[in-house]
Amino acid sequence: MKILVTGGAGYIGGTVAGLLAETGNQAVVFDNLSHGRRDQLPPGVEFVEGELADRAALEDLFISAKNQGRPFDGVLHFAALIEAGESMVHPEQFFRNNTASTLSLLEAMLAHGPRRLVFSSTAAVYGEPESAPIPEDARLLPTNAYGESKLLVEHMLTWLNRIHGLRYASLRYFNVAGAPEGPQGITRGEAHAPETHIIPLVLDVALGRRKSINIYGNDYPTPDGTCVRDYIHVSDLADAHLLALAALEKHDRLIYNLGNGQGFSVLQVIEAARRVTGHPIPAEIHPRRPGDPAVLVASSRKAIRELGWKPRYNDLDDMIRTAWVWHQKRYAE
């Protein structure tokens, strides 16, 4: 297949583009490099720099592929702002970038094809869940603008499927972790600028790049008072994307949660990082951040049952181990 990967120079998008290449598919990455990095791109993957809001550029890309006799077979859409905390400071940026810019992509797809999209959604669409683990039919009530910006895209996709026959899979991720272990070992991983995710931040402390890790809130209604999250390895996530894309050949609308079904608190993540790295990793308590739910844990039974998805990384220590290998390599270069 020939697949367009928006945001493919990022952590998750780059991993999926790499898997496409490894499985004999052609990946074309479209990214503005505002958060992505060229060194996240696997060898042999074509790169086009551009803005998702630029509908004309997207249309040119689709038309050019057609004219060359190799039209795109589908789109994997990762391009987005992802910092939930920042979305509660500048929500307008998230609605412009995540929601309005996605509409430009969808309009270009409707005008020139293809008609298959796998959308990178989020567990944040659920907000504060009524129970855990969370099934796909749970109430959708985001508590931050990031989750709302993604939910609005899901609403758009529902209508475009109903009216125009656009086939889509919406994959609602939980916290993504780890680094892909490929034929050449671990050569890429999580590298945001600025970094906001807990595992790379904790590993920065272990490397001496930070003095301590901040814990935002220790008074949540959880066993140790800190937020509980579900962690999924980035390679397992990549596998699910290719399975969902293939499933769209027979189905026109799919929605799946992707996680490991286990919840780990912030303190448990820090303890796991201490075990893996052998470093003490000091921690400091700070007030809660607006919009952070207490518990987000997935039920991924539907994806396992319907897609035949088989996650390989279920142990938190193992996920952190792969991230630790990448982190050490990253700063040794």
Both tokens of 105, joined, read 């992509």
Residue 220 appears among annotated catalytic residues:
no
* Half-sphere exposure at residue 176, Cβ-oriented, CA atoms within 13 angstroms: 29
DSSP 216-245: E-S-SSSTTSS-EE-EEEHHHHHHHHHHHH
CB 292 within 8 A of CB 214: no
Rounded to whole angstroms, the Cα distance separating 206 from 216 reads 19
> Could you tell me which residues are beta bridge partners of residue 117?
75, 168
Pick from 228, 234, 198, 229: which is nearest to 312 by CA?
234
Rounded CA-CA distance 223/202 in Å is 21
Q: Give the active site residue among 11, 146, 231, 313.
A: 146
Q: DSSP letters along 58-82, please?
A: HHHHHHHHHHTT---SEEEE--S--
Give, in order, the Cα–Cα distances in Å from 225 to each of 143, 229, 235, 285. 19, 13, 30, 11
Dihedral sign from CA coordinates of 137, 142, 147, 148: positive
Separation CA 138–CA 121 (nearest Å): 15
And the tokens for 254? 């799919």
Please identify which residue in the block is written with the tokens 């590993």.
203
Instruction: Enter the DSSP assignment of 179.
Output: -
Give me the DSSP letters along 122-149: EGGGG-S-SSSSBPTTS----SSHHHHH
DSSP state letter for 182: B
> Which residue numbers are catalytic?
146
